[in-house]
Chains A and B, each alone.
Chain A
Amino acid sequence: MLEIKNLHVTVGGQEILKGLNLTISDGEVHAIMGPNGAGKSTLSYAVCGKDGYEITQGSITYNGKNLMDMDPNERAGEGLFLGFQYPVEIPGVSNMNFLRSALNSQRRYRGEDEIAAVDFLKLIRAKAAELDMDPEMLKRPVNVGFSGGEKKRNEMVQMAVLDPSLAVLDETDSGLDIDALKIVATGINRLRATDKSILMITHYQRLLDYVVPDYVHILAAGQIVKTGGKELALELEEKGYMGLGITESAA
């Protein structure tokens, strides 16, 4: 269970999150929507521990552990995965090597044995096949020369291999055509089927047609201002933020 209480986050001297509260129980899928600049990406970075996102007040705990004391890789070891809005390129490092190093690092953190090379190969090939990724892509350097859709598909393959207990997806659906969107949705739903928790940050209702959330939150001006079921996303789609009485300077 992820518990965020009264979270205040400052970036570059400017307060972006101003007392955010959010609880995600095991197996739940939450969607966070909100206007530009509301602090959606800041929330995902703060949860995953990116440098420069300074927590000035409040707390983030995961399964009772204080995440704020942990380095990003330790949080990953605890089961956190961040699907990036803009996955970065790592020239010269094959997808395969990258993911095996990452998985083994997580396993070491959890006191587990490293995965045998043969078992890893089977695992990654199976996951790539589930998400229709050409096995050749696994040998290519991480995200180098990938299209936007390929990068997001790669994020989903990484997520499937690392098998996190909580996935935070930061606008994973942005800039995707319908086919790529379906692939992303497939990745999320497969994870969901194993009773994992998911936090989807999105601009659009579109993704929620494929991954139906248990809760929808609206984030504006650094706080969650409205929470509802899946119908809230539809309402938002219809009326817009203004129609729901939410402005950039809410709260």
Chain B
Amino acid sequence: MVATQEAKQTVQDVTGEYKYGFVTDIETERAPKGLSEDVIRFISAKKDEPEWLLAWRLKAYQKWLTMEEPTWAMVDYPKIDFQDIYYYSAPKSAEDGPKSLDEVDPELLRTYEKLGISLKEQEVLAGVAVDIVFDSVSVATTFRKKLKEAGIIFCSISEAAHDYPELMKKYLGSVVPVADNYYSALNSAVFTDGTFVYIPKGVRCPMELSTYFRINEANTGQFERTIIIADEGSYVSYLEGCTAPQRDENQLHAAVVELITHDDAEIKYSTVQNWYPGDKDGKGGIYNFVTKRGACRGKNSKISWTQVETGSAVTWKYPSCLLIGDGSVGEFYSVAITNNYQQADTGTKMIHIGKNTSSTIISKGISAGKSEATYRGLVRVMAGAENARNFTQCDSLLIGDKCGAHTVPYIEIKNPTAQVEHEATTSKISDEQLFYCQQRGLETEDSVALIVNGFCKDVMKNLPMEFAVEAQKLLGISLEGSVG
């Protein structure tokens, strides 16, 4: 079992020692601690929001006050004091709004450089338009001009509230209602920034849109709001990724992401999540309570979620699809790695409403240390969903003997023509596999990375190339298919 010990050590090395643990010193302008109508008015005023949006926030806040924190997930954490959190924090340089990267606080740019995200480099090399969210305000947006030529809107939520109020009013809260759950209500009341994307009819977005989120200020909850709309016959691939500096206090993140596809449109949404998971003893780390949902409103439309989850102390996240349009397609591909004392309760909901709708769920969970990973998935076929199809595969890989993997599938079928398949496996990295790799010359950690990479291949291959590289960095694994 020595090899297993080594393997555990290796995974600790791969996922445990958080490399991006530093804090950027930037003067921030904060709302007073705690949550109240005044704080919400402060946020709204700071963002110079229209009256309707403030009213919307306040209504959400009233709703939130009546709700209870959910406890059904298989995660355990100390009760959050919602009055002990700053709900607004912006880098000061954002006051005037930088016109270009040259105007961005150099300290901030250095932070991204440490993370290996060189904006300049990305602009030139990657062809990725980047809308960076630092704490709560977007500070740099690239490639906007090129996108504008295609009629694509790619801006911050705050800008969208000003410049595209009709679209905002139409879509904000239309997929994830304010009162959907405790955290979505909280987010609706206090969301500070996020990304707004609109792809017009028939347009195929010429580049992958990307936003890096990064939590920086101590005790600042991040409440991002993202809305992506793909109009008829359009296509967009969106990338979300993040790293966070090391902190002792737990930090709350409660984002809401809403996706909407109209007839024949497709959204591909990819996430690499690497927030601080806490130290080896389970101290610190991010609480990540996210509501992500897509509505395939149009016929033959498609929404595809791909996620690689390596960070956060506690993850509570179920990117879901409402398959409303006839022939619409929902996909969920997920890799979740937990280590030390991390806890992840993640999965998806596929709600089949239209006829001939289909969904695919592939979930790969890797547990090491004393961590717990739960897959929780719902496949619901409504009475009117003739010929709905679902395929679900949930595989768990255990490293060591103190971690746990759980699979909790819910299947609700109200139409007899439905075809639903569910497969699940649980396995361990064997000493034999490790020795085989090592004997061929691979170091232990590379061997583990290789085996884990192979295990996750069905998910990783769905990541856009740029992101696959990012994921490779995070998992410490070599990229499949780069040769041959």
A242 to chain B, nearest CB (A): 34
Which of A59-67, A97-105, A200-208, A217-225 is the interface stretch? A97-105
Q: B433 in the interface, Cβ–Cβ < 8 Å?
A: yes
Alpha-carbon separation in the docked complex, A141 to B2 (Å): 26
Knowing A76-B439, A92-B454 touch, does A121 contact B483 (C-beta < 8 A)? yes
Contacts of B435 in A (CB 8 A): 50-51, 72
Task: Decide yes or no whether B481 CB sits under 8 A from chain A.
Answer: yes
- Expressed in whole angstroms, the Cα–Cα distance for A98 and B443 within the complex equals 13
Q: Are A97 and B478 in contact (CB under 8 A)?
A: yes
Which of A52, A87, A139 is in CB contact (< 8 Å) with B484?
A: A139
- Chain B positions 72-127 with a Cβ under 8 Å from a chain A Cβ: none
Q: Looking at A87, A102, A117, A139, which has the most chain B CB atoms within 10 Å of its CB?
A: A102
Taking the nearest CB of chain A, how far is it from the CB of B424, in angstroms? Answer: 15
Q: Is A17 an interface residue (CB 8 A)?
A: no
Point out the residues of chain B lying under 8 angstroms from A141, CB to CB: 454
Q: Which of B451, B456, B482 is close to A90, meaning CB atoms less than 8 Å apart?
A: B451
Q: B483 to A100, Cβ gap below 8 A?
A: yes
How many residues of chain B have a CB within 8 Å of chain A? 32
Tell me whether A105 and B450 are in contact (CB under 8 A): no
Q: Does A162 contact B (CB under 8 A)?
A: yes
A72–B439 touching, CB < 8 Å: yes
Closest A residue to B478 by beta carbon equals: A101
User: When the two chains form their complex, are residues A102 and B453 in contact, meaning their CB atoms are under 8 A apart?
Assistant: no
Which residue, of B435, B444, B451, B457, has the highest number of chain A Cβ atoms within 10 A? B435
Smallest CB separation, A163 vs chain B (Å): 12
Interface-centre pick from A51, A71, A72 (highest chain B CB count, 10 A) = A72
In the bound assembly, the distance between CA atoms of A24 and B480 in angstroms comes to 39
CB–CB B484/A121 < 8 A = yes
Q: Give chain A residues whose Cβ lies under 8 Å from the Cβ of B431.
A: 51-52
Q: Using Cβ atoms and an 8 Å threshold, which residues of chain B touch A139?
A: 484
The size bracket of the interface on A is 35 or more
CA A137 to CA B187, docked complex, whole Å: 51
Tell me, yes or no, whether A193 is within 8 Å of chain B by CB. no
Could you say which of B1, B432, B443, B454 has the most chain A C-beta atoms within 10 Å of its C-beta? B454
**In the complex with contacts A52-B2, A92-B458, A101-B450, A138-B484 CB distance below 8 A:** yes
Q: Are B454 and A102 in touch, CB under 8 angstroms? A: no
Name A84's closest neighbour in chain B (CB-CB): B436
Q: Does B360 reach chain A (CB closer than 8 Å)?
A: no
Closest to A52 in B: B2
Q: With A52-B2, A94-B480 in contact, do A77 and B441 touch (Cβ < 8 Å)?
A: yes
Closest to B364 in A: A92
Say if the beta carbon of A243 comes within 8 Å of chain B: no
Q: Taking the complex as formed, is B392 at the interface, i.e. its CB lies under 8 A from any CB of chain A?
A: no
Contact digits for B434-472, partner A, Cβ 8 Å, 1 yes 0 no: 011111111110100011011111100000000000000
- Judge whether B454 and A90 touch: CB under 8 Å: yes
Q: Which residues on the B side are within 8 Å of A121 (C-beta)?
A: 483-484
Contact A102 B483 (CB under 8 A): no
State which of A51, A91, A105 has its C-beta within 8 Å of the C-beta of B442.
A105
Residue B382 CB within 8 A of the other chain? no
A75 to B442 CA separation, bound complex (whole angstroms)? 11
Minimum CB–CB distance from B75 to chain A (whole Å) comes to 28
Query: B432, A88: Cβ atoms under 8 Å?
Result: yes
Residue of B nearest to A104 (CB): B441
Q: A117-B482, A121-B484, A139-B484 are in contact. Are A101 and B454 (CB under 8 A)?
A: no
Residues 104-121 (chain A) with a chain B CB within 8 angstroms: 105-106, 109, 117, 120-121
Is the CB–CB distance between B439 and A71 below 8 Å? no
- Chain B residues with Cβ below 8 Å from A91 are 454-455
Report the bound CA distance from A224 to B139 in whole Å: 74
Compute how far the CA of A103 lies from the CA of B483 in the bound complex, rounded to whole angstroms. 14
Q: Is the CB of B482 within 8 A of A76?
A: no
A8 to B125 Cα, complex, angstroms: 58
- Chain B min CB distance to A84 (Å): 7
With a CB–CB cut-off of 8 A, which chain A residues contact B480? 92-94, 97
Q: Using CB atoms, name the residue of chain B closest to A106.
A: B441
User: Which chain B residue shows the least CB distance to A76?
Assistant: B441
Q: What residues of chain A have their CB less than 8 Å away from a CB belonging to chain B?
A: 48, 50-52, 71-73, 75-77, 80-82, 84, 87-88, 90-94, 96-103, 105-106, 109, 117, 120-121, 138-139, 141, 158, 162
A88-B433, A94-B481 known; 5 other A-B pairs, CB under 8 Å?
A: A48-B439, A93-B453, A98-B437, A101-B478, A106-B441
B residues near A (Cβ < 8 Å) are: 1-3, 430-433, 435-444, 446, 450-451, 453-458, 478, 480-484
Q: Could you name 18 residue pairs across A and B whose Cβ atoms are closer than 8 Å?
A: A51-B431, A73-B440, A73-B444, A76-B441, A81-B439, A88-B436, A90-B451, A90-B454, A93-B451, A93-B453, A93-B480, A97-B450, A97-B480, A101-B478, A102-B441, A105-B440, A109-B441, A117-B483
Sorted nearest first, the 5 A-B pairs with minimum C-beta distance are A92-B454, A93-B454, A92-B457, A102-B440, A106-B441
